[in-house]
Amino acid sequence: MSEQLKGKFIVLDGGEGSGKSTQAALLRHALERRGCTVLSVRDPGATRIGELIRAILLNPEHTEMNMRCEMLLYMAARAQMMAEVIQPALNRGEVVISDRFISSTLAYQLDGDGLTAGEIRAVGDIAIHHRWPDLTIILDMPVEAARVKPKFTLFPDDPDAGVEKDRIEMRPPEYHAKVRQNYLKQAKDHHRRHCIIDARKPVDQVHAEILSAVEALS
């Protein structure tokens, strides 16, 4: 299996509180036990510049941010992450697991300020230098069932860390319900490289289904 997955780029995505970070960690450990060398990243982030952009994007104080500006900032962080971290790892034959990627923008920023999927994909293609994920796994969960834990902080030692919701989490349930539908639609429209998994199932069952989808990569 380790030879089969060399240089594969896998994304775990989905709405707030769907278990992406937990499942990304479980997948990494499972692949490492099978002999794979794995790089895990979070989007946006993973580089010094990306983390600075992440802080701007998630800061609840930035209420005036236009949706096109938001989309472009996400893409800028991805451009840096792809050039500095992801592509070099793929070139070394490592498996890259990303917690979110362009699939998030196609769910969260779609239709904002009139943004179309075509525009988002065109900008994304430039940002990632045409290297799209080999598999995007959407962890699907209704908004009312999501397990959202406030986590925003600009500083790791902030006494309020884990108390305040970030700028995206603070948006109303109606917005997040639309995000869910956008995820499902993009997975349907691009089914060859997408897989939808019901995130309401027990953690170990979700993990087993993710591992099965990854093992099917060739």
Does 159 or 173 have the greater pLDDT score?
Answer: 173
Residue type, 123: V
Average pLDDT over residues 139-143: 91
Q: Is the pLDDT of residue 127 over 90?
A: yes
Does 70 or 155 have the greater pLDDT score?
Answer: 70
pLDDT of 149 reads 54
Q: Model pTM greater than 0.85?
A: yes
pLDDT tens digits for range 4-39: 999 999 999 999 889 999 999 999 999 999 999 999
Question: In which residue are the tokens 């908004």 written?
Answer: 143
Per-residue confidence at 1, pLDDT binned at 50, 70, 90? low
Question: What's the mean pLDDT when you consider all of the chain?
Answer: 90
Q: Decide yes or no: CATH 2.60.40.10 for domain 9-215.
A: no
d(CA 32, CA 137): 19
Average pLDDT over residues 83-109: 97
What residue spans define the domains of the chain?
9-215
d(CA 35, CA 47): 26
